[in-house]
A = this chain, B = another copy of it.
Amino acid sequence: MSDQKIRNMEHFSAVCGISRPTVSKYFNDPESVRKSTREKIEAALKKYDYRPNIYAVNQNRRQTKNIGLVVPNLTDPFFAGIARTIEGLIVEAGFNPLLLSSHGGPEHEIANLDSLRSIKPAGVLLAPLGRASLEDQVAEFANEVPTVLFDANLGDVGEAYFGSDNTQSISLIVDYLCRSGEPPVFFEMKAPINPNAYKRRTAYKAAMGRLGYEPHLLQVDGQGWNFEEIGFREGARILTGRQLPTNTILCSNDRLAIGLLSAAFENGFKVGLGAEASLRIAGHDDHPFSRFTCPSLTTVSQDYEAIATRSVETILSLIDRGGRMQTREETLFEGKLVMRGSA
């Protein structure tokens, strides 16, 4: 590695002994130049520390190589995990991921889209906040920039949507709970931010009806994204208060269940399957921490590998074909039952 500083592509092409346009061609696609030329350039790259100025490149390219990735809340390990997977896939495809979190706030979500605008991304993968999203503004963005939604759907915004099949997954766990004990009540927030929550509620009612049971909703107050806190506080209220019609509680998501488990523990309930247990608790999502709750949480895992993979594939082909789909694709992936100690 020589310590001579390369000023720009002109300079670099000079030390290569090759013209600048050819070097430019090389950086856009190494395969597009003759083998002997490629080798000369790569030898020089080993020797000198040069890389094209990204700002000059992006100013002149028709498209940047940037792909925006917006998740509702990075503090939630579930989203941190899926973001990581997606980032990896984007990098593999030769693009540059830009990760932004909306921190649970609709204004923040719009601010994220706004700052993505100035970066002129080739495409955007967006997991919207859901009900709280400022749909008009999100739709406007998706109109300007090729956008694929995942995790939560939002009207017909974007060119495609990939998420979980809540009907299937909730049906699956309701079925399991009924077969292995008493039919579950459904623990959820009264006004959830997430549209999946509504689908899960409906799916719960349908599943219970199909099995010949009366559905029973425990709808608790609570705002925002502090699900564990809400599950804990409202769970304690419910457990110590009125009588439940059954010993089994299915939570709308794992984070509520984690809070509820904590409340059950504090109030002396023994949670689990065995005869000595007085309560069964199940969740939904297979949150990274649900393996380590006490007892470990029975839940349904989302197929987030599939969601990530298909979302990335779709945005890439979308970019490839110039930004628009003929029809909006909506694909839901099935969940898998994860049987653990809590139910």
**Other than the known A261-B294, A266-B295, what 7 A-B pairs have Cβ atoms closer than 8 Å?**
A54-B120, A55-B56, A55-B120, A77-B80, A99-B101, A228-B291, A229-B291
Chain B residues in 8 Å Cβ range of A115: 96
Cα of A103 to Cα of B293 in the assembled complex, Å: 24
Beyond A55-B55, A59-B59, A289-B228, is A295–B75 a contact (Cβ under 8 Å)?
Answer: no
Residue A222 is within 8 A (CB to CB) of chain B in the complex: no
Chain B residues in 8 Å Cβ range of A292: 228, 232, 258-259, 261-262
17 intermolecular pairs with C-beta atoms under 8 Å apart: A51-B118, A54-B120, A55-B55, A55-B59, A56-B59, A59-B59, A75-B81, A84-B101, A96-B115, A98-B98, A228-B291, A258-B289, A259-B292, A262-B293, A265-B295, A266-B341, A293-B294
Chain B nearest CB from A187 CB (Å) reads 15
Ranked nearest first, the 9 interchain pairs of A and B with the lowest CB-CB distance are A294-B294, A265-B294, A55-B59, A262-B292, A55-B58, A55-B55, A75-B80, A54-B118, A74-B80
Chain B residues in 8 Å Cβ range of A80: 74-75, 77, 80
Chain B residue, CB-CB nearest to A88: B103
Interface residues of A (CB under 8 A from B): 51, 53-56, 58-59, 74-77, 80-81, 83-84, 96, 98-101, 103, 115, 117-120, 228-229, 232, 258-259, 261-262, 265-266, 288-289, 291-296, 341
Chain B residues in 8 Å Cβ range of A98: 98
